[in-house]
């Protein structure tokens, strides 16, 4: 049996992902990340109701450098998910579903999430 040199189907590593596909995947990922962050916040609040020493331990973790980075990541996820959610709400009305509109709304959503994140960080 001889082996023929056939082209492979596009592999994930060589395929150029459209921006809309990346935004869709990131919307799902940020939703999961925010769910995990919600669990962390509930744990933090629950620790306050259990005892003072337990709250001090959890509060020490949540206000540490690692905790601050986690909260910063959760804020970035929230900003992206919010802006992309607005885009999905516009799509639900039947508007902006053309190829050019989808690409434009992807860029606007991505830029809006970066701007929203920066404004919250600078103001807060």
Q: pLDDT by residue for the chain (124 residues), tens digit each? A: 556 676 666 666 677 889 999 999 999 999 999 999 999 999 999 999 999 999 999 999 999 999 999 999 999 999 999 999 999 999 999 999 999 999 999 999 999 999 999 999 999 8
94 dihedral zone (left: phi>0; alpha: psi -120 to 50; beta): left
Number of Cβ within 10 Å of residue 18's Cβ equals: 13
* pTM for this predicted structure: 0.85
The pair of structure tokens assigned to 63 is 């206000």
Q: Which residues contact 78 (CB under 8 A, 6 or more apart)?
A: 30, 34
């Amino acid at each position: 049996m001889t082996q023929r040199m056939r082209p492979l189907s596009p592999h994930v590593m060589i395929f150029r992902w459209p921006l809309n596909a990346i935004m869709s995947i990131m919307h799902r990922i940020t939703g999961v990340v925010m769910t995990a962050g919600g669990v962390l916040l509930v744990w933090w609040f629950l620790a306050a109701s259990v005892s003072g020493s337990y709250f001090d331990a959890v509060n020490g973790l949540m206000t540490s450098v690692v905790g601050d980075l986690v909260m910063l990541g959760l804020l970035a996820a929230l900003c992206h998910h919010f802006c992309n959610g607005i885009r999905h709400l516009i799509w639900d009305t039947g508007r902006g579903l053309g190829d050019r509109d989808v690409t434009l709304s992807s860029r606007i959503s991505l830029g809006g999430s970066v701007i929203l994140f920066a404004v919250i960080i600078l103001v807060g």
